Structure 1
């Protein structure tokens, strides 16, 4: 039974590869050189790594984050590398602050060409330790914030008949990971939003790229929220986040994302484990569910 499922996965991968090969010739090249790129959550982690990568490709950077201190440090580091950078502190879960942010970026550069929705939050712990407010908070950070930013830039993209939205989702948006349910729920929602907008915005000349990373070595354990058995929950997440075969370096992910942006891709699953897990979810959901049930048994109660 398992081997039959694996054969189906291999066949699906082959068919998908052939379709991708056919589509590559149709993709528009979307060079970021000279483009104004707004990155939310751009002062650290993947956002900062992506800013570094795009700067080497000639992009004009606009970084947003909640901490002005962190933004200034990021700005100085990027300027020392020869980048042109504008920073503005804002809480992107507040639509009014988002509108002001986009106005500030347009006021500084005269336009905005690319939006990277990277800001987000993570909460680790068992479902029994979560309440509805936890889900609402993570949804605000990981889904609604992206929608607010998209709505704010769309009038500018529409006016210039061009633009690109890059939504940083997660493998947790394709597979509900135990002890990360609020995060998974929010990323499932973001994936749906991103995939739907891909089709709806295309006629206006606006490209949407959905990025599906797995765990990333960005120092994120220092910034996660934890509920339940705090020390044990933090410990398992920190270990998983640091394993090379489970997680990915931020610099490598940033390079891959930048390549995807410039090649006009619509969706990217960044790592092989994430690709396998996504394929198993589609073809062998019972097997994957059983595997996750076993994983849940060894996680803290």
Structure 2
């Protein structure tokens, strides 16, 4: 290689390095500070919501957790307050607009205006689509789509009046790639992804920054509270095994750190886990290839039958396989994250 060509390559490399350094410095200087901010987390009493709450509390955020289960909320409150967090809990069904508006009003009057909204509440239904009912689809759309609409609209005027805010919508890799035996869940998460991206474009002019999170499988302990249909014991065992394996899932703490960093820096989107990132990349290049692969996967999954359209919770679907050595990571996470 000629000297002149080497010099050009050196300058190109130096220029690229300088740009990366400038970007890193800029991100650090413009990072959002959660300290003292009021952060509302829906579905914050357990699982991923509780994991994010712990990390935000460590940064000095003032937390508001809402959920439907009062006992779980109280357990979360005792844990976080016991570690010095400033935390308020409110029982609220976020699929009911009037309850959301009442909850937000209560928070603003008694705790302060909401600086950060994290739409995390969710539900999982596992089983063949032929065993799903209209109610299953409605349930998913209500909590994954309508609930974030209700909460966003409830905080929007206050954020606009104060000149900004942050909104984090916890979608899923299932909201970018529809997954067999999780069709109602994926449909609801797809709706949330579309809503979130549209909100980002329209709310940026008010300095309200919207981030969409599409986590892959993470060990929160949530499978035991999923609804399972069809051959529920087999479905649950497979789901729990995938959730436990380090090849297909990551810890909830690692995922929360990635997601909150994306929120901190105002990123448009964050995808966690290598399988999810790879799947999103391939799906973007060839949706047909991905759907054909999933069709093959679907042929290997349990078929229709069993309890049919009836449903059981995960913890009602345990078997020798789902309670084996290989699923211990999920059981441990369930104990830690208030899922039991």
* C-alpha distance after superposition, 1:195-227 (max 9, x if no partner): 010010000110001001011211111110111
Q: Aligned residue for 1:283?
A: 285
**Structure 1 Cα separation of the partners of residues 115 and 163 of structure 2:** 10
* C-alpha distance after superposition, 1:144-187 (max 9, x if no partner): 11111111110111110111100000000111100000000000
Larger CA deviation: 99-108 vs 46-55: 99-108
* Residue 108 (structure 1) aligned with residue 110 (structure 2): yes
Larger CA deviation: 265-274 vs 165-174: 265-274
Larger radius of gyration: 2
Against the structure 1 CA distance between its residues 268 and 98, is the aligned structure 2 distance closer, same or farther, given a 3 Å change threshold? same
Q: Aligned residue for 1:297?
A: 299
Distance apart, 1:110 and its partner CA: 2.2
Q: Aligned residue for 2:210?
A: 208
Equivalent residue of 2:118, what SS?
strand
| Residue 224 of structure 2, aligned match among 222, 225, 239 | 222
Contact kept in structure 1, 2:42 and 2:67, CA below 8 Å: yes
Distance apart, 1:267 and its partner CA: 0.7
Equivalent residue of 2:209, what SS?
strand
| Residue 82 of structure 1, aligned match among 76, 81, 84 | 84
Contact kept in structure 1, 2:38 and 2:112, CA below 8 Å: no
Q: Aligned residue for 1:11?
A: none
Q: Aligned residue for 1:128?
A: 130
1:58-77 superposed matches below 5 A = 58-77=60-79
1:1-301 superposed matches below 5 A = 28-301=30-303
Distance apart, 1:82 and its partner CA: 1.2
Structure 1 residue runs without a partner (length 5+):
1-16
Distance apart, 1:290 and its partner CA: 1.9
Against the structure 1 CA distance between its residues 141 and 32, is the aligned structure 2 distance closer, same or farther, given a 3 Å change threshold? same
How many pairs does the alignment contain? Answer: 284
Structure 2 residue runs without a partner (length 5+):
1-15, 304-340
Equivalent residue of 1:265, what SS?
coil
Distance apart, 1:29 and its partner CA: 2.0
Larger CA deviation: 261-270 vs 40-49: 261-270
Q: Aligned residue for 1:9?
A: none
Q: Normalising by structure 2, what TM-score?
A: 0.80
Equivalent residue of 2:168, what SS?
strand
**Structure 1 Cα separation of the partners of residues 68 and 241 of structure 2:** 27
Q: Which consecutive aligned stretches of 4+ in structure 1 deviate over 3 angstroms post-superposition?
A: 20-28
**Structure 2 Cα separation of the partners of residues 257 and 31 of structure 1:** 15
**Structure 1 Cα separation of the partners of residues 26 and 209 of structure 2:** 14
**Structure 2 Cα separation of the partners of residues 284 and 25 of structure 1:** 36
